[in-house]
Chains A and B, each alone.
Chain A
């Protein structure tokens, strides 16, 4: 992206040590890995600065547990600039023990439901969100499904080699229900 040099420099100047790393995704969009304390500053800079990243595509989380990376969680924000016709990503790494990040709803109102979904799926809390509640799972759900230590769920598929065992197990668990 043509403006990426100036962009990285301006962000580094604005938040200093808050910029932990830079990366690039396979579509050519730069990824800024920032500390959560500098998130709001970076978002304001990107939105109000000369590049005009006014459209937030979405907010979502990643759980790096199975990859063995530390810190465990990351919240990813993808921004789009209509004037430059290009994207930039902001990634905020979060520790497992303290998965809290400031909410960007004041800067990008579209993040409202996206942050609720990230909370629902990962358990990451967004400080300052007007109504941080579950959105996709039932209200009384206890699991955060997209975490890597939560199993996929569902039932064991019956094949000829395990059908008998599964049926015996089911009959033992719920004898009053008759299922052929």
Chain B
């Protein structure tokens, strides 16, 4: 059968279901394990328990409405999803967001990356039995959620980055709040390092666990921190830069051991690099418009609507019909905290996309779980899932 391990049944093998509801599977992931005692002979992931029909729903919504849906796919990277969609639509329109919007986009995308890695770090600890890291991680994450709430009114599903620029301008107090976080966070990272990195129990459970060779990673199409922990310095922010990333000074963090410990260290160091980018972005936010001047494709600022007749008419047309995107297709990808997140959009000249496919990193990265888990223990399986850091909304869409 399709969703059972393809293994010869004998007396030694027990089939165990690590069901969709499980505290350590990072959401609704089902694993069917063929066990020989504690050792895993085969591991078959069964996904689809969070399939929400995103791609079909996109086809029935205007481009502006699609932005709110994109938040909910990889729900720990909402601004990143918005950014990927906005970049794809802007390529179809043949426009580029104004400089102020681009810098703020980079700033918020990196803060989202830090927030996502914090949850990954905390969940990793919780899965292994450590209940303090998640408490500390969520405490720091709350500061970031306050910043997101300040710009968009929403803690998580912000829908703030839209095709053409941003939803609205950053409020006063934003830059101070971000600077406060930048000053506060490095010593917290050192605190996490002090708590975990040389901790004998942490190292015992993570060093040497879940090894994948670089060739295996490349063949399986793995991207993101997992690939960088195998020694391959591939990062779309450096390789195919978008939104001005080529002008920021940051390193691509790599390790060579390609085990769970290396992946943990890669994520920790990536948070530090992201903080550097946030500081650089904060220092160079230029003045200017936050959204395109061309109101045929981007909503006019709210203040103008009550002053100018054209702005009012544009807003009405955009809200009822949506902006028309000329026919064409595009595939545009960004580096999300999990890897390559790409949007393939086919436009047919109307106000709704014809076909949207989202190439999500967790879907592809999860394919390496059966390869990693073979021959390991269940306790290590939990660790491996945490190191892949899948988000089931990303996997199932």
Contacts and interface: CB of A to CB of B under 8 A. Distances in A.
A and B touch in the complex (CB under 8 A): yes
Given A57-B359, A110-B367, A113-B367, A27 B344 contact: no
A27 B364 contact: no
Interface in A129-150: 131, 133-139, 145-146
Contacts, number: 102
B314 to A, nearest CB: 24
A78 B51 CA distance: 23
B367 A29 contact: no
Given A57-B333, A89-B331, A145-B56, A82 B2 contact: no
Q: Chain A at the B interface: mostly helix, strand, loop or mixed?
A: loop
Given A85-B240, A152-B60, A58 B359 contact: yes
Contact of A27 (B55, B330, B346, B357): B330
A178 to B, nearest CB: 29
Interface stretch (A33-41, A60-68, A158-166): A60-68
A166 to B, nearest CB: 20
Interface size class of B (residues with CB under 8 A): 35 or more
Given A76-B344, A82-B234, A137-B51, A55 B221 contact: yes
Contacts of B346: 62
Given A27-B331, A82-B239, A131 B6 contact: yes
Nearest to A89: B331
A67 B348 contact: yes
A134 B2 contact: yes
Given A57-B340, A60-B344, A76-B344, A152 B220 contact: no
A136 B344 contact: no
B17 interface: no
B273 interface: no
B355 A136 contact: no
B392 to A, nearest CB: 11
A108 B340 CA distance: 17
A60 B331 CA distance: 12
Interface in B56-106: 56-57, 60, 91-92, 94
A21 B93 CA distance: 24
Given A57-B340, A110-B219, A136 B396 contact: yes
13 contacts: A25-B331, A26-B91, A26-B92, A26-B330, A56-B221, A60-B344, A78-B331, A78-B342, A110-B367, A112-B367, A131-B6, A133-B3, A136-B47
Given A26-B330, A27-B331, 5 more contacts: A25-B328, A25-B330, A26-B328, A110-B221, A131-B6
